[in-house]
Amino acid sequence: ETDGLSSITNYPVFEMTGSDVVIISQGTPFTDPGIKATAAGVEIPVEMNVTGAFTGSSGTTVNSDIADKYVITYTAENSDGFANTAVRTVWVVTTGDLTASIEGLYTATVLRGGVSSPQYTDLEYILIWKTGNNTYSISDALGGYYSIGRAYGDNYNAVGSIITANNIGTNDFSATTAVIPGFGNTVEVSGITVDAGSKTITFLGAGNFANANFDVTLTQVQP
Q: What is the mean pLDDT of the chain?
A: 96
Give the integer Cα–Cα distance in Å for 31 and 153.
26
**Closest by alpha carbon to 24, among 63, 75, 51?**
63
pLDDT higher at 4 or 179: 179
∠ Cα 62 66 69 (to 5°): 60
Q: Is the pLDDT of residue 4 over 70?
A: no
Give the integer Cα–Cα distance in Å for 201 and 183.
26
Give the integer Cα–Cα distance in Å for 152 and 179.
15
pLDDT digits (tens, 9 = 90+) for 67-114: 999 999 999 999 999 999 999 999 999 999 999 999 999 999 999 999
Give the integer Cα–Cα distance in Å for 179 and 209.
12
Q: Quick one: average pLDDT of 53-71?
A: 96
pTM attached to this predicted model: 0.93
- Give, in order, the Cα–Cα distances in Å from 210 to each of 185, 205, 206, 214: 11, 13, 10, 11
Find all residues with CB under 8 Å of 49, minimum gap 6, and list them. Answer: 58, 59, 60, 72, 73, 75
Of 2-6, 27-31, 125-129, give the lowest mean pLDDT range.
Answer: 2-6
Q: Is the pLDDT of residue 16 over 90?
A: yes
Where does the pLDDT of residue 223 fall: very low under 50, low under 70, confident under 90, or very high at 90 and above? confident
pLDDT higher at 174 or 6: 174
What pLDDT shows up at residue 1?
58
**Closest by alpha carbon to 183, among 219, 150, 215, 137?**
150
What pLDDT shows up at residue 88?
98
Where does the pLDDT of residue 142 fall: very low under 50, low under 70, confident under 90, or very high at 90 and above? very high
What pLDDT shows up at residue 62?
97
Q: Is the pLDDT of residue 2 over 60?
A: no
Neighbours of 98 (CB within 10 A): 20
∠ Cα 182 20 34 (to 5°): 130
Supply the DSSP symbol for 146. Answer: I
Find all residues with CB under 8 Å of 206, minimum gap 6, and list them. Answer: 187, 188, 189, 190, 212, 213, 214
CB 105 within 8 A of CB 22: no
Q: Is the pLDDT of residue 222 over 70?
A: yes
Pairing of strands 21-25, 83-93: parallel
What pLDDT shows up at residue 3?
65
